Structure 1
Amino acid sequence: MADAQALEIEGPQGEVRRVRLSSPDKVMWPASEHGPKITKRDLADYVVAVGERLVGDSLGDRPVTLQRFRDGITGGEFYSKNPPKGVPDWARVTECTYPSGRTHDQLVVDETATAVWCVQMSTITWHPWPVRTGDNDNPDELRIDLDPQPGRSFSDVVEAATGLREVMTEIGLTPFVKTSGNRGVHVYARIEPRHEFLDVRHGVIGIARELERRMPDLVTTAWWKEERGERIFVDYNQACRDRTIASAWSPRPLPGAPVSTPISWDELGAVDPGELTIRTVPERAKGENPWAGMDQAKGDVGAAIALWDKDVEERGLGELNFPPDHPKMPGEPPRVQPSRRVAEHWDADGNRVSD
């Protein structure tokens, strides 16, 4: 391995941050049919190149979970919610409350140098919470993940995203879009932080169900994979507390080092997500920002929550399944896949009853 290197990175007010990068030639992405190998130093250089966008569009002033790969993408991965040891003195942390009720600090990535330090800690993907550190309980960002099932193409995802944009716009939200870095698309909207996580999740379900009614053959809100068929899953559970999506401008741990990249709605139908990689995205980051103005486009999630309320009151629709690591919630359906469910073993609240 090459000797450690010291990177000098400009900080606030012209300050210079020094970040030590050990094993700079460690391979994070091996060479493949998608391109040559990418080293830890290559990843650090990428972060420096897009740092202003990475921090400004996605990470700044938010709790961040780090997806780390000590041996590159071919090794094991783990998620750091607690700040790793050795956090630089210029970085800060913020306390978060988890679904279990416990609390602890998470790292805040407010400047490029902190993101590069995360690379030193073998971070490949950043996962920010949809909150600001001044209020870690009320989201200021609504996020919807369109997850295509096998058999669906990216053009199908584009069609679903276009329909989703229409629904969101009709209820007063301003949607922005990015590639997921894989096969899907992520749609975001800034919201006023006036509602807690469960209310925002219900608003997302309201939007998802409306989209499902308009495009029943293309999209689904079915939590269980056996019920989705080939439809695109509208992942409403990304709105849960402690559930996060790869940030804008984050690389993904997939061959070729694809990047979850903000794009304009006009180019959504023409873009090839596979061409948006660590090698190509820095040049793109120099151009016009398709997410410019997002912070000024805050909407009220109340209209989305009203969709949820209408479904409950007029259509008799109720709660949907939560992620398995969350506590059992009131009204939640049984946490067992439908093909294995025996009706008499579950009460009306989705709790298992003994024989």
Structure 2
Amino acid sequence: MGAAKGKSAAVEIDTGERTVRLSSPDRVVFPERGFTKLDVAEYFVAVGPGILRALRDRPTTLQRYPEGAAGEFFYQKRVPKNHPDWIPTATIAFPSGRTADEMCPTEVAAVIWAAQYNTLTFHPWPVRGEDLDRPDELRIDLDPQPGTDYADAVRAALELRSLLDEFGGLEGWPKTSGGRGLHVFVPIEPRWTFTQVRRAAIAVGRELERRMPDAVTTAWWKEERGERIFVDYNQTARDRTIASAYSLRARPHAPVSAPLRWDEVEDARPEDFDLATMPGRFAEVGDLHAGMDEQAHSLEALLALADKDERDHGLGDLPYPPEYPKMPGEPKRVQPSRAKHEE
């Protein structure tokens, strides 16, 4: 892969299912490494079975970069009106009560079609088109705060793995975020609402925090987090999404969110997985998360833990993001330092 020089005509990308037209294939998307729009499309073809598995039948928000990875971007939630009729859609509801039709990919060609519109990162909802109100994945985002790095996220992830096993024999599937963090996805039965799944995520975060108090935090307010790994429980709230496996991230070296085996988490380096290296890795090991769809765990043990936290320790809900309507039982959304100042 590499930069093409001069302006070239549109090309056709064959996905094996259908052919998708790609205009301006030589336009540079990642300036530092010279990767072009064609390189991006060919990358998505190379990892096609993996990214399709991550997106299949899921309402998906597109993170688009019209000026390339170094330029401005926007999130497209509503599928363009001119989208092909072979790309299914689903009507999702936001916390505000508004709705939108989002694309629900069912074939790799949909990913290439989105790449034609300068999509680098795909943000699938944790639900399928047949049940838009009950997630089938518990997604745990281990987010390094200033002063911490990937190695700190690894230590938290390894403890998280043990924790999940203890509470219902849950199996987590790790991947790099494409930055310094780690994501761990747990396939679950689609029996619980977004609110209940978020409650389970909070319980996970609090238990991990108890086990690693100097290394992990669930503090929503940045001023309270310190140099710890933040368990971003709000990534499980309705309309909050996490970059899919195999998505490209808009950083200079064109990193990707890479699925990992647990036995390679500790030795992995996020910078090793990028647009140039991932196709070879995928050809060698395939989609390491291919088995996720064969599992569906119960959240009952984690929800029981949440009940115990509230009953025995008075630990109820935690703040939602600022754009959300006030939720029942939610504490005040006031920055601690500001609340103390106003007393």
Query: Which bin holds the TM-score, normalised by the shorter protein?
Result: over 0.9
Instruction: Determine the structure 1 residue equivalent to 2:230.
Output: 233
Q: CA deviation at 1:306?
A: 1.1
* Corresponding position of 2:78: 82
Q: CA RMSD in A?
A: 1.2
Q: Does 1:143 align with 2:142?
A: no
Match of 1:328 in 2: 326
Match of 2:4 in 1: none
Distance in 2, Cα, partners of 1:319 & 1:153: 28
Runs (4+) off by over 4 Å: 342-345
Q: Provide the TM-score with structure 1 as the length reference.
A: 0.92
Aligned residues: 335
| Cross-structure match for 1:156 | 152
Which one-letter code corresponds to 1:8 in the other structure? D
Q: Quick check: 2:149–2:181 contact (8 Å CA) kept in 1?
A: no
Deviation at 1:295, TM superposition (A): 1.5
Equivalence for 2:262? 265
Where does the alignment leave 5 or more consecutive residues of structure 2 unmatched? 1-6
Residue-by-residue CA offset, 1:215-239 (whole Å, 9 max, x unaligned): 0000000001100010100010011
In the other structure, the counterpart of 1:353 is none
2:298 partner amino acid: D
Q: Which amino acid aligns with 2:228?
A: R
CA shift for structure 1 position 342: 4.3
Distance in 2 (alpha carbons) for counterparts of 1:296 and 1:18:
30
> Matched residues in 2 for 1:143 and 1:60: separation?
17
The residue number in structure 2 matching 1:3 is 9
Give how far 1:280 is off: 0.1
2:219 aligns with 222
State the AA in 1 paired with 2:304: A
SS of residue paired to 2:155: helix
Instruction: Determine if contact 1:174/1:298 at 8 Å carries over to the other structure.
Output: no
Q: Which residue in the other structure is 2:250 paired with?
A: 253
| 2:140 aligned counterpart, secondary structure | strand
CA–CA separation in structure 2 for the residues paired with 1:133 and 1:10: 24
Among residues 105, 109, 113, which one is paired with 2:109 in the alignment?
A: 113
Give the equivalent residue in structure 1 for 2:31.
30
Aligned to 1:125: 121
Query: C-alpha deviations, 1:270-318, integer Å up to 9, x for none?
Result: 1111010010001111233321321122110111111111111110011
In 2, the alpha carbon distance for the partners of 1:160 and 1:113 equals: 37
Secondary structure at the aligned position of 2:265 is classed as coil
SS of 1:124 mapped into structure 2: strand
Number of the residue aligned with 1:60: 56
Aligned to 1:19, what secondary structure does the other structure show?
strand
Identical-residue share of aligned pairs (%): 53
State the TM-score, normalized to the length of structure 2.
Answer: 0.95
Cα distance between partner residues in 2 of 1:103 and 1:343: 39
What residue number does 1:100 align with?
A: 96
Q: Give the secondary structure class of the aligned counterpart of 2:46.
A: helix
Q: Unpaired runs of 5+ in structure 1? A: 12-16, 346-355
2:22 and 2:116 in contact (8 A); partners too: yes
8 Å contact kept, 1:142–1:191: yes
- Between 321-330 and 133-142, report the one with greater CA deviation: 321-330
**Is the aligned partner of 1:210 residue 2:207?**
yes
- Counterpart position of 1:351: none
3-state SS of 1:307 partner? helix
